[in-house]
């Protein structure tokens, strides 16, 4: 995927928070491919994540710690004199936020103001900051698709945590002229997502093991799905665009604008995996989730020149291949190793 272009990233010192997540792992890989000097803020070492499996972890500086700890964030920025911060770290599961709102608020809100405050204090070398918000920050809206001029109307804990982080980032730009850009993406999918409660990895995992996928909703919720490689390009485009005053302090939607129901994406995965005979189980137990969400990315196209390159068909094909290799390599490990990592694959 690397597009070195004019070498913008070569030699840049870049801090990536949430570096072991699905986006963080692929983003770090791409930055390394573009010759950036990357610092990865990592909470836990997980050998199953793409950051570790790919060997990329051995090519970056690693700082272990929590976003909620100001001194950890400060050390990650100051010790390596980073000029660019890509803040992806978060508690990213909606159901977890509903069950544990305080922990989610601590990570997503306190973690974000820690990152921004450290950057404010070290403006002498921090040149650009990208903050990961979410389409969930918009909350329930009467008119769709979401556009950036809409007011944020969150209600449930996860939505509130992301909208608060979003608004704190805007505040730091307005008050301190901090060079911040805010990214709001749709449902991100791709290889390396180990959160099995999410619809794409959960469905692929179930079908690989010849089991019925479980749907928490009634299957009719509408979402747009964006492939992780397109999201990586989006974050890099936004960071590069922060040289422009017209981009600083702005929020941007990033979407493939593929609007389908949960049942439809499950059917697409079943078809690609040759599992049409395995029917999903519709639990219809989802609570505290917005029913219909999709984004317009016209602003990102106009101001950043960004547009999704992957169709849903292409993205799912690559994603399924990644998981098939992932599970196959696990199946061929010695029995003792399979047992030691089994809980991570449940």
Tens digits of per-residue pLDDT, 204-242?
999 999 999 999 999 999 999 999 999 999 999 999 999
Residue 278 falls within a domain, yes or no? no
Q: Whole-angstrom Cα distance, residue 48 to residue 50?
A: 7
Domain for residue 340, yes or no? no
Domain membership flag for residue 337? no
Residue ranges making up the domain that contains 297: 13-189+225-258+292-310
DSSP SS3 for 15: strand
Per-residue pLDDT band at 338 (split at 50, 70, 90) = very low
The C-alpha atoms of residue 212 and residue 272 are separated, in whole angstroms, by 15
Q: What is the pLDDT of residue 3?
A: 53
End-to-end CA distance of the chain: 31
Q: For the segment 130-177, what is each residue's pLDDT rounded down to a tens digit?
A: 999 999 999 999 999 999 999 999 999 999 999 999 999 999 999 999
Does the structure show a pLDDT above 80 at 194? yes
Domain count, the chain: 1
For the chain, the residue count is: 346
Region 303-311 average pLDDT = 97
**Which residue has better confidence, 25 or 330?**
25
Region 287-297: mean pLDDT is 91
| Residue in 146, 301, 297 with CA at minimum distance from that of residue 226 | 297
255-274 pLDDT per residue, tens: 998 899 999 999 999 999 99
**pLDDT (0 to 100) of residue 289:** 84
Residue 238 inside a domain? The answer is yes
pLDDT above 60 for 342:
no
Give the confidence band of 345 by pLDDT, cuts at 50, 70, 90.
very low
Report how far residue 18's alpha carbon sits from residue 41's, in angstroms, rounded to the nearest whole number: 6
Q: What span, in angstroms and rounded, lies between the C-alpha atoms of 56 and 29? A: 6
Cβ atoms of 238 and 304 closer than 8 Å? yes
Residue 314's region, left for phi above 0, alpha for psi from -120 to 50, else beta, is alpha
Contacts of 246 (CB under 8 A, 6+ apart): 303
In a domain, 316, yes or no: no
- Cβ neighbors of 86 (< 8 A, separation 6 or more) are 14, 15, 16, 17, 27, 129, 130, 235, 239
Q: Is residue 204 part of a domain?
A: no
Mean pLDDT, the chain, as a whole number? 93
- Domain of 139, CATH number, reads 3.40.50.720
Residue 106 within any structural domain of the chain: yes
Reported confidence tier of residue 5, pLDDT bands at 50, 70, 90: low
DSSP code for 342? G
pLDDT (0 to 100) of residue 258: 85
Distance CA 112, CA 89 (A): 8
- Does residue 203 sit within a domain? no
What pLDDT is recorded for position 2?
57
Residue 84 has pLDDT above 70, yes or no: yes
- Residue 129: which of 238, 3, 10 has the closest Cα? 238
Rounded alpha-carbon distances, angstroms, from residue 15 to 61, 78, 81, 100, 234: 9, 10, 9, 28, 17
- The alpha carbon of residue 84 and the mean position of all alpha carbons in its chain are separated, in whole angstroms, by 18
**Mean pLDDT along residues 291-297:** 95
Task: Please identify every residue annotated as catalytic.
Answer: 158
């Amino acid at each position: 995927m690397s597009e070195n272009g004019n070498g913008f990233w070569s030699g840049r010192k870049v801090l990536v928070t949430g570096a072991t997540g699905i986006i963080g792992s692929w983003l770090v890989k791409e930055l390394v491919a573009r010759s950036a000097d990357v610092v990865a803020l990592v909470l836990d070492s997980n050998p199953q994540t793409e950051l570790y499996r790919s060997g990329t972890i051995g090519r970056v500086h690693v700082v272990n710690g929590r976003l909620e700890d100001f001194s950890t964030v400060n050390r990650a920025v100051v010790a390596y004199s980073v000029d660019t911060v890509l803040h992806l770290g978060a508690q990213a599961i909606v159901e977890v936020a509903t069950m544990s709102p305080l922990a989610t608020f601590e990570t997503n809100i306190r973690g974000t103001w820690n990152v921004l405050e450290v950057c404010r204090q070290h403006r002498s070398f921090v040149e650009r900051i990208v903050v990961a918000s979410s389409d969930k920050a918009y909350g329930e809206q009467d008119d769709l698709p979401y556009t950036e001029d809409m007011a944020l109307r969150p209600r449930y804990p996860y939505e509130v945590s992301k909208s608060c982080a979003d608004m704190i980032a805007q505040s730091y730009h307005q008050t301190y002229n901090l060079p911040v850009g805010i990214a709001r993406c749709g449902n991100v999918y791709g290889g390396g997502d180990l959160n099995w409660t999410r619809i794409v990895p959960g469905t692929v995992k179930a079908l690989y093991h010849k089991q019925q996928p479980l749907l928490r909703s009634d299957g009719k919720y509408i979402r747009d799905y964006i492939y992780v490689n397109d999201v990586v390009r989006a974050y890099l485009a936004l960071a590069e665009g922060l040289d422009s005053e017209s981009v600083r302090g702005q929020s941007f939607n990033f979407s493939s604008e593929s609007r389908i129901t949960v049942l439809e994406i499950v059917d697409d995965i079943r078809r690609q995996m040759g599992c049409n005979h395995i029917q999903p189980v519709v639990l219809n137990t989802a609570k505290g989730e917005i029913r219909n969400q999709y984004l317009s990315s016209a602003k990102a196209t106009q101001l950043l020149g960004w547009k999704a390159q992957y169709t849903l068909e292409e993205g799912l094909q690559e994603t399924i291949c990644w998981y098939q290799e992932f599970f196959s390599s696990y199946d061929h490990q010695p029995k003792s190793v399979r047992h030691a990592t089994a809980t991570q694959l449940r």
